[in-house]
Amino acid sequence: MKINWYSGLKKSTIGLLLFYIGLVFSQATSPDAGSSDCVCEEPMKNVWYKLSTGEDGIQRTIKLDMQKGKSYSEGPYYVLELKDAENGDIIFVAFPTFGPWESEIPKDKDPFLDALDKEFKNLEEYLKSRDSQEIKKKY
pTM: 0.42
Residue 37 falls inside a structural domain: no
* Residue 138 covered by a domain: no
User: Is the CB of residue 56 less than 8 Å from the CB of residue 110?
Assistant: no
Asked if the structure places residue 58 within a domain, the reply is yes
Q: Quick check: is 55 in a domain? A: yes
- Ranges 16-30, 85-99, 110-124, most confident: 85-99
User: Is 33 part of a structural domain of the chain?
Assistant: no
Asked whether the beta carbons of 50 and 61 are under 8 A apart, the reply is yes
Task: For residue 54, tell me if it sits in a domain.
Answer: yes
Return the amino acid letter for 49. Answer: Y
Look at residue 27 and tell me if it is in a domain: no
Of the pLDDT bands very low, low, confident and very high (cuts 50, 70, 90), residue 22 is confident
pLDDT in tens, 74-111: 888 888 898 888 888 898 888 888 877 776 665 666 67
Q: How many domains does the chain have?
A: 1
The arithmetic mean of pLDDT across residues 45-73, rounded, is: 83
Give the range among 37-41, 89-93, 118-122 with minimum mean pLDDT: 37-41
The whole domain housing 88 covers 47-96
> What does the pLDDT read at residue 35?
55
Q: Is residue 134 part of a domain?
A: no
CA atoms in the 13 A half-sphere facing the CB of 137: 1
